[in-house]
Homo-oligomer: A and B are copies of this chain.
Amino acid sequence: MQALEPELALRLGMSRTPVREALIRLEQEGFVELTPRRGMRVSALSPRDIREITEVLACLEVEAAERLALRRCTADELAQFDAAIAAMDAALEAKDPERWNEADYRFHTLLIESCGNRHLVETAKQYLEKAHRFRALTSVHRAPPVYSNVNHAAVVEAIRRGDPQSAVEIHRAHKRRWLRELDDILRHLQSSDDQAGPHG
């Protein structure tokens, strides 16, 4: 999927200038790649990219969880976490991966956004956004994510009782397991559509 500046401007019914500015922003955020005379394309996420993004996000989320547990969050926040987890449970029961993904996304957004470090929030949200782009891809190849649900619940439990140590440990272990699973999935995808190239 390739596109050129003038072409895109035409399609959007605006001049090149605002298109160009938008593309600069998108490039900075890592969503498109601009190659001077070869046009632009939405960044293809190679298996390596997926791995790397997941890793960074994991690291930031663990930090967020720790900070959350340290600062004893409000009852309202905790209720929101509980709600997200309940939604995940329901979706799992109903075997509805669509809804599960949505609830999972909400959970992670909550975790990130309530950590209190605005810079961490901004960065982590960008990574979450990117991670979300291949969630759908992986969810198909994935066993029902029962572990995710119980782990998320356990993390919230640790946060609730203000136990950063446990929050970090649980979330980190969970992410490690997920990374291993991800590697399996990626290997699988890679061998099944070898010359198909990276996934955008």
Alpha-carbon distance between A52 and B63 when the two chains are bound, in angstroms: 12
Q: Which of A24-32, A95-103, A191-199 interfaces with chain B?
A: A24-32
Q: Which of A7-15, A76-84, A116-124, A145-153 binds B?
A: A116-124
In the assembled complex, the CB of A123 is this many whole angstroms from the nearest CB of chain B, namely 6
In the complex, the answer to whether A123 meets B28 with C-beta atoms within 8 Å is: no
Main secondary structure of the interface of A (DSSP, over half): helix
Across the interface, name the chain B residue whose C-beta is closest to A49.
B119
A117 touches B20 (CB 8 A): no
Give which listed residue, B21, B49, B120, contacts A20 with CB less than 8 A.
Answer: B21
A42 at the interface (CB under 8 A from B): no
The count of chain A contact residues (Cβ–Cβ below 8 Å) is: 25
Please give, as numbers and ranges, the residues of chain B lying within 8 Å of A123 by CB-CB distance.
Answer: 56, 123
Contact of A21 among B21, B119, B120 (CB under 8 A): B21
**Which residues of B lie under 8 Å from residue A122 when comparing CB positions?**
30
On A, residues with C-beta under 8 Å from B are 17, 20-21, 24-25, 28-30, 48-49, 52-53, 55-56, 59-60, 62-63, 117-120, 122-123, 127
